Amino acid sequence: MRAVAAFLLVLCYLAVTHAWRCSEGPRLYNARQIDAGQGKVVAINSYGNVHFLIGSSWYRMSSLRFNHVSIGPAGLWATSTSGNKVYKYIAGNFVVSSGLSMRQVDAGGDGQVVGVTSSSRAYCLRSDYASSYKGSGSLSWSNLSRVLKYISCGKYGCWGTDTSNRIYFTQTLSPTTCGNSRWSQISGSAAMVEVGTDGSVFVVNKSGQLFQRLGISSRSRSGTSWRAVSMCMPVRHVAYDLGNLWVVTTSGLLMKCTH
């Protein structure tokens, strides 16, 4: 396994362009999904185990199994493999919530949590509800009136992809009310989209190709165009935080790239 990983990494060094320099990340075998925010990194392996990165080592956080994990200003949230139940990490433990079930959640906005259900309906949890939740009572999610299979929020708005891999953007989502401006379709196609806290946007299409959104600023919140980020292997999932692009390939290899 190590020999194969080393060979694949050599190929990656030769293939990556546009000034992205990639190396093998802290080794987590069979990585499946990753998220990063506020200097923290979490990941899930193919067994559904959540791991937290400290230095160059991964530490398993729970015996529970999860589909998706997200970390950011709203804290650490995850969805379970059993029933898509929503969990919040509180005082050293994942605590299950009552209310809607979510297939995917994102905690990278301005204190709110967003997510999508198994029926691809997008919802938002207000920042006051997200921060005050201590494990009792039911979470009250607000319907965003958009069919999406993946959603992610950052400094300049929220991005999502629908069941036809179309890309959508809304420049305003209030963390205190979950009220949002209209959704606009953006050119391109993506299976998932990830937004960094600083507003950086990356997408992965159904073929495992990775793209970065260019031209994003306070004056042009949705950016101007896509640029391919060449990778030597198909990509499954990405996350971006503090200048670090974390890449999980379809083969379960974890890479850390810098610009």
The amino acid at 201: V
pLDDT at 172: 87
- For the cut 70, the answer to whether the pLDDT of residue 147 exceeds it is yes
For 59, 83, 106, 147, 237, the CA distances from 62, given in Å and listed in that order, are 9, 17, 19, 32, 22
**What span, in angstroms and rounded, lies between the C-alpha atoms of 86 and 89?**
10
Domains, the chain, with CATH or none: 28-258 (2.130.10.30)
Average pLDDT over residues 156-160: 96
38: confidence class by pLDDT, cuts 50, 70, 90: very high
Q: Can you give the pLDDT at residue 85?
A: 97
In 3D space, the residue among 137, 117, 120, 119 whose CA is nearest the CA of residue 128 turns out to be 137
Residue 12: partners with Cβ closer than 8 Å, 6 or more residues away: 22, 231, 232, 233, 255
How far, CA to CA in Å, does 36 sit from each of 86, 107, 254?
19, 10, 13
- Mean per-residue pLDDT of the chain: 93
Q: What is the DSSP letter of 227?
A: E
How confident is the model over 183-238, as pLDDT tens digits? Answer: 999 999 999 999 998 999 999 999 999 999 999 999 999 999 999 999 989 999 99
Return the amino acid letter for 35: D
Q: Quote the percentage of the chain above a pLDDT of 90.
A: 88
pLDDT tens digits for range 98-118 = 999 999 999 999 999 999 999
pLDDT of amino acid 10:
52
